[in-house]
A and B are shown apart, each in its own frame.
Chain A
Amino acid sequence: NAGVTQTPKFRILKIGQSMTLQCTQDMNHNYMYWYRQDPGMGLKLIYYSVGAGITDKGEVPNGYNVSRSTTEDFPLRLELAAPSQTSVYFCASRLAGEGIYEQYFGPGTRLTVT
């Protein structure tokens, strides 16, 4: 299994541009998450999904959109990029249901907006 994969690994955007961060998992996990990590800080939840067609906002959703058309994929869309969105973005997935299940993380995407 590849686990959780993210593309691209790095990206530089100009202010006002848009882009989609891709996330794919091959573990048949229903739950998927997007986090951002600002320098010297912990991860903060942007959006999450508990299954195909179901998404919900996390702690810091402004400026982002998501969709979940398949179990495997959970892309994160940035519209009108701003310098405040400079961060490292992590996608994660886990088994469904309440419990001590581990979240598996992708390798992250480092995004710089200038």
Chain B
Amino acid sequence: AQTVTQSQPEMSVQEAETVTLSCTYDTSESDYYLFWYKQPPSRQMILVIRQEAYKQQNATENRFSVNFQKAAKSFSLKISDSQLGDAAMYFCAFSTGANSKLTFGKGITLSVRP
């Protein structure tokens, strides 16, 4: 069975600073996909960034980037130039197989200090 672990329940960052959110996963599959979702207080789930396991290059989306370490089964999210609107819960998620069911971590609550 696949598992996703987010060991930090909460983090805080100063506006304009950089923060890294950690995620580890466990799987016996060699081909899979990893995602970071953001959930603001509105409850809406918003895709932040995604990564194919077969790609060596780390994904980047504007101020968001990942550090994907396949051997260590680690998938951390780096947020640069943090903004007040980045305050939310962030979920790491994993999928594999044709049905692409998502397995989520417990999430981390990120607060941004002005």
Residues A105 and B45 in contact, CB atoms below 8 Å apart: yes
Interface flags for B52-79 (1: CB within 8 Å of A; 0: not) read 1000000000000000000000000000
Interface flags for A94-112 (1: CB within 8 Å of B; 0: not) read 1001111111010110100
Residues A100 and B99 in contact, CB atoms below 8 Å apart: no
A68 CB, min distance to chain B CBs, angstroms: 14
A40: Cβ under 8 A from any B Cβ: yes
Residues A103 and B52 in contact, CB atoms below 8 Å apart: no
Roughly how many angstroms separate A48 CA and B102 CA in the complex, as a whole number?
Answer: 11
For B, the interface residue count at a CB cutoff of 8 angstroms equals 26
Residues A41 and B107 in contact, CB atoms below 8 Å apart: yes
For A, the interface residue count at a CB cutoff of 8 angstroms equals 28
Residues A103 and B43 in contact, CB atoms below 8 Å apart: no
A38 CB, min distance to chain B CBs, angstroms: 10
Residues B106 and A40 in contact, CB atoms below 8 Å apart: yes
Closest to B102 in A: A103
Residue from B44, B50, B51, B101 within 8 A of A45 (CB atoms): B101
Residues B91 and A105 in contact, CB atoms below 8 Å apart: no
Residues of A within 8 A of B (CB): 31, 33, 35, 40-45, 48, 50, 56, 58, 88, 90, 92, 94, 97-103, 105, 107-108, 110
Residues A42 and B4 in contact, CB atoms below 8 Å apart: yes
Closest to A40 in B: B106
Residues A100 and B52 in contact, CB atoms below 8 Å apart: yes
